[in-house]
Amino acid sequence: MSFLLLYAIIANLLLRRAPTAAANITAVFAFGDSILDSGNNNHLVTAFRADHRPYGQDLPEKTPTGRFSDGKLTTDFIVSLLGLKEMLPPYLDPALNDTGLLTGASFASAGSGLDDLTARAVNVLTMGDQLKLFEKGLERIRRKVGAKRGRHHVVGNGLFVIAVGSNDVARSYYGLPFMKTFTTSGYHDFLLKNFESFILRLYKMGARKFGLSGLPPVGCLPIQMTLNLSPANFLKRVCVNQQNVDSQAYNTKLQALISRLQVRLKGSKIAYFDAFKPMMDMINNPQKYGIDHTMKGCCGMGLLEEGPLCNELTPTCPNPSNYLFWDAIHPSQKAYHTLAKVFHNNVLPLLL
């Protein structure tokens, strides 16, 4: 009886501690590309938009919001797990008032990258543009709650989630012949130098808690498999191994950068989010996740369709939860939920 009583007391304490720990994070601010864009591109003149059906078909209101998925994104699940709000709104949404901004917003823009050329080629927000918007948001926060509370309570205790780089390597580096003036390693270094500058600027604005995502297995994105079909595997869809090797090399360098920044930026907590391993596990062991299809997306044939090519005239699969990918690039809501659980279990504890 005494052992059972002790076990019950410990379990109760752990349950009570969870919300207290989560309370250390007062807001979530997201930056990067379509993985975290909850609708900012709706307000830009660009083809890289998801404000049309069938996007958003599995959201509560079953309407497109600009999220590149059938439903919620990773950051939507994160803010819900933290008890901040149901979903993370886009900063450019006119409906986002100052009170809502206090618990966070997404500044990410689909199609963006660490290389400004990547974003400008499709007329979306560069990472610098996203920082400028955050500066405006920070001024709104100061006016709402005062400079001191805004800097320390909202920003200092806010979680800054950044996922970017996939467009740079997949679309700019692999897709544009003139980019081959860079070696792969040299281009990674160029991207990470820009990533470092971005973090330093956020730090100067008061940011202290960072969750930085590495690259996914780029070679396993359905669109990359389609664009790199070889005569030997024309009828068999396989991941592009070299692109996955490149992704891992980039991720290794990113982790080294994070280690250096952690020492350099006093009072900061910077955690690496490994998106590569869980994505590969879903690809190699789909039965663990209740997934049947990992080589193509749910929208259309799932080979090239994304953004404007995935539209209301495009047929979709009966059940997106059976798919790792919603379209030819972006994960399904089910996959995003899995990634959110990995983030919650492996990254958040390092930041609290």
Which active-site residues does the annotation give? Answer: 34, 327, 330
Dist. CA 280–CA 108, nearest whole Å: 24
Residue 95 has phi, psi (to 5 degrees) of -75, -10
- Quote the DSSP letter at residue 230: -
Phi-psi region of 200 (alpha: psi -120 to 50; beta: other; left: phi over 0): alpha
Parallel, antiparallel, or unpaired for β 104-106 and 293-297? Answer: unpaired
Q: Up-side HSE of residue 70: CA atoms within 13 Å toward CB?
A: 25
Structure tokens at 223: 């669109």
Sign of CA dihedral 88, 94, 95, 98: positive
- Residue given tokens 């390597």 in the structure block: 169
The CA distance from 325 to 115, in Å, is 25
What six digits make up the tokens of 43? Answer: 């307000």
Angle, CA of 274, 320 and 295, to the nearest 5°: 60
Is the Cβ–Cβ distance between 57 and 332 less than 8 Å?
no
